[in-house]
Structure 1
Amino acid sequence: MQGKRKATLIGLTAVLLWSSIVGLIRGVSESFGATGGAALIYTVGAILLSFTVGFTKVRQFSGRYLFWGSILFVAYELCLSLSIGYANSGRQAIEVGMVNYLWPSFTMLAAIAFNKQKSNLLIVPGFAVAVVGICLVLGGDQGLDIAGMVGNIKTNPLSYGLAFFGALIWAAYCTVTSRMAGGKNGITLFFTLTALALWLKYFTTEDGAMGMSYHGIIYLAMAASAMGFGYAAWNVGILHGNVTILAGASYFIPVLSAALAAVLLQAPLSLAFWKGAAMVCAGSILCWFATRGQSAKPAPSARSRQS
C-alpha cells in the first residue's frame, strides 16, 4: 500500500510538470525562435528520455504502429510547439494552448466513432461545454462574444489553426495507435523523430543564427526536464500507482497550465478566461464519465497520451 501511494504521488508530479509546458515552450521560443527553440526542446528531451524511459527497441513494435505512430506523433508535436512559438504574445500563447486541450473531447468522440467505444448521453453536453469553454477563452475580456472571438483568431490564424488541428491529430493518434502499440512505449523514438523534423525545418526555412541567452538556456533546461521527467514519472504512476486518481487529476491540466503560464509569462488573464478554462476541464470530464463503465475499449485518460 505504501509503495502504491508513493507511485501515485510520483505520477501526480507528472501532471504538474506537464502543466508547465505551455509557459516553458513559449519562454524558449522567445529566446531561440519558434522552430529553433522547439528543436532544442525535443533534442534535449529525447536525450533525457533515453536515460529515464530508455531507448526504443524498434524490433518490438509492429510496422503499422511505427509508421502511423511516428507520423501522427511528430505532426502533433510540431503543431503544439509551433502554435505556441508563433503566438503574438504570452496571453495568446496561453489561449492557443487552451485550444489544444480540446483533444480529450475529440479523442472520446473518435473512440466512439471508430473504436466502437460505447457511451451514454453525457457525451453531448460534455462536448458542448468544452466547445463553449473555448469560445469564452477566445472571446477576450467580453466572454462569450462571437465577433470578438473571430477577430481574435484573425490576428493570428496560423497559431490558432495549428493548435486546433493538433487537437484533431492527437485524437487520431490515440484512436489509431491504441490498437497497434500492444502496451509498448515508443516515446523516445518519437521524440527523436520530432527533433529531427524540427531541425530539418529550421535549416531549410530559418534565416540567421540562433541567439543564446542565460534566460533561454534556463527555460530550455526546464522545458526539456518537464517533458523528460514528466513521462518517466507518469510511467511509474500508471504502472504502480492508483490509475483512477491519476486519470482524474490529469483532466485539470488545462487550468493548471494556464495558471503556471500566466505566472511564467507575466500575462494577466480575465475572469472570462478562467470560466472558459474551467468549462474545458468540465467538458472533458463529462466526456470521460460518458464512457466509464461502458463495454468495449475504455477511453484513454487525459494524459495517457504519449504511449
Structure 2
Amino acid sequence: MHNAQLKFTLYGCLAIFFWSCLLASARIVTEHFGAVGGSALLYSLASVFLIFTVGIPKPTLFSIRYLVFGGALFVCYEIFLALALGYSHNRAQAIEVSIVNYLWPALTVLFAVLTSNKRPNWLLYPAVLVSFAGVAITVSGNEGVSLALLINNVSSNPLVYFMAFTGAILWALYCNVTRKQKSKHNAITLFFIATSVVLWIKYALSNEPALTFSWDGTQSLFIAAGLMAGGYGLWNIAIIGGNMVFLATLSYFTPVFSAIFSSLILGVTLSHSFWQGVAMVTIGSLVSWYITKEKIPKNQPDADQSHPVA
C-alpha cells in the first residue's frame, strides 16, 4: 500500500471510528434535549457541517425517482433510529437498540442477491440467521438467553425495537436503491436537510417541552454532529483512493466497535451473552458479504459507499 492510498485508507478508518462513537453520542444529545428536539438539533447542525465539508449537490444530478423514493427511505431510517435511541428507557436499552439496527448489513446483502438474477450461495441464509440469532441474544437481556426473556424485554418497550428493526430493513433497501441509481454523486446533504425538516415538523406537533440549552448539552450536541458530519466527510475522501476492500471488511466489524465505545461513553457494563450476540451479528454479516460479493455485478460497490456503517 503506497503512501497516498495509506492516507486515504486511514481517513476511512477514522470515519468508521467516528460512526462507532456516534450512536452513544446521539443518545446523550436526546437525554439533554429530548428525543425529538435533540434529534432535530443534531441533524440540523450536522446538515450545516455537511454543507461545508461535503457541499450541496444539484438536485438535477439525480433522478426524481431516486430523490423521492431513496430520500424517503433515508429520512425514515434516520428518524426511526434517532427516536429509537431517544425513546429507550435507559442507556443499556439504547445500546441493545443500536445492535438491532446492525441487522442492516446482512439484510442489504440478502436483498441484493434476491433482486439479482444470480443464484444465491446456500450459505447466505444460515449466515443471515446467525445475525438474527445474535440480535435475539443481545435483546434477551443480562439474565440469560430464552424466548421468554426476549419477549419480556421487547414487550417492555416494543416501539423502540420495532423502529430499530424497521429501520434496518429501510436502510438495507436504501443501500440497494442507491447502488442502482445512475448518478455517482452523493445526495447525503440533501437527505440530511430533509431529515432535519421532518424532525422539526414533528417537534412542532409534539408535546415536548421547550428546548433548554446548557453547556454540557451544547457540547454533546456539537460532538455528536461533528462525529456524524466528520464520518461522512472522511468517508467521501477515503473512497477516492483508499483500499476499499480493507475498509469494506473493517466496516462489518462496526457492531463490535460501536458496542465497545457505547459501553465506554454511556458507562454501561455489558454482559457476556451480549458480547456473544454482537459477535454473531458481526460474523453473520461478514460471512453474508464475503460469500456473495462476487455474485453482485462488478460495476456495483460491495456496500453503500456513502454511509457504510450507519
Name the TM-score, length of structure 2 as normaliser.
0.95
C-alpha separation between the residues in 2 aligned to 1:120 and 1:94? 32
Aligned partner of 1:211: which letter? T
Distance 1:125 1:281 in 2: 13
Identity of aligned residues (%): 41
Could you report, residue by residue, the CA deviation over 1:104-129 in whole angstroms, capped at 9, with x for unpaired residues?
A: 11111111122335532221221111
Q: Deviations over 1:23-42 (max 9, x none)?
A: 01100000000000100110
| Aligned-residue offset at 1:144 | 2.3
TM-score by length of 1: 0.96
Distance 2:96 2:305 in 1: 19
Aligned twin of 1:228: 229
Stretches of structure 2 lacking an aligned partner (at least 5 in a row)? none
* Distance in 1 (alpha carbons) for counterparts of 2:88 and 2:42: 17
Question: Which residue number corresponds to residue 201 of structure 1?
Answer: 202
CA-to-aligned-CA distance 1:49-72 (integer Å, 9 cap, x gap): 011111121111111111111111
Q: Quick one: distance in 2 between partners of 1:21 and 1:212?
A: 20
Whole-angstrom CA distance in 1 between matches of 2:305 and 2:159? 25
Matches within 5 A, 1:44-123: 44-116=45-117, 118-123=119-124
Task: Return the letter of the residue paired with 1:78.
Answer: I
1:1-307 alignment, distance < 5 Å: 1-116=2-117, 118-294=119-295, 296=297, 298=300, 300-301=302-303, 304-305=306-307
Q: Distance in 1 between matches of 2:251 and 2:119?
A: 22
Cα–Cα, structure 1 residues 21 and 116, in superposed 2: closer, same or farther, change >3 Å?
A: farther
Equivalent residue pairs, number: 307
Note closer, same or farther for the CA distance 1:223–1:117 as it changes in structure 2 (3 Å cut): farther
The 8 Å contact of residues 118 and 291 in structure 1, kept in 2 or not, is answered as: no
CA separation of 1:280 and 1:302: change in aligned 2, threshold 3 A: farther
- Tell me, in whole angstroms, the C-alpha distance in 2 between the residues paired with 1:305 and 1:54: 16
Cα distance, 1:299 vs structure 2: 6.4
Task: Identify if the C-alpha distance between structure 1 residues 38 and 295 changes in structure 2 by more than 3 Å, giving closer, same or farther.
Answer: closer
| AA in 1 matched with 2:303 | S
**d(CA) in 1 for partners of 2:117 and 2:215?**
51
Q: Which runs of 5+ in 1 are unaligned?
A: none
Measured on the aligned residues, the alpha-carbon RMSD in Å equals 1.6
Helix, strand or coil at the partner of 2:142? helix
In structure 2, what is the Cα distance between the partners aligned to 1:252 and 1:23?
A: 17
**SS of alignment partner, residue 301 of structure 1:** coil
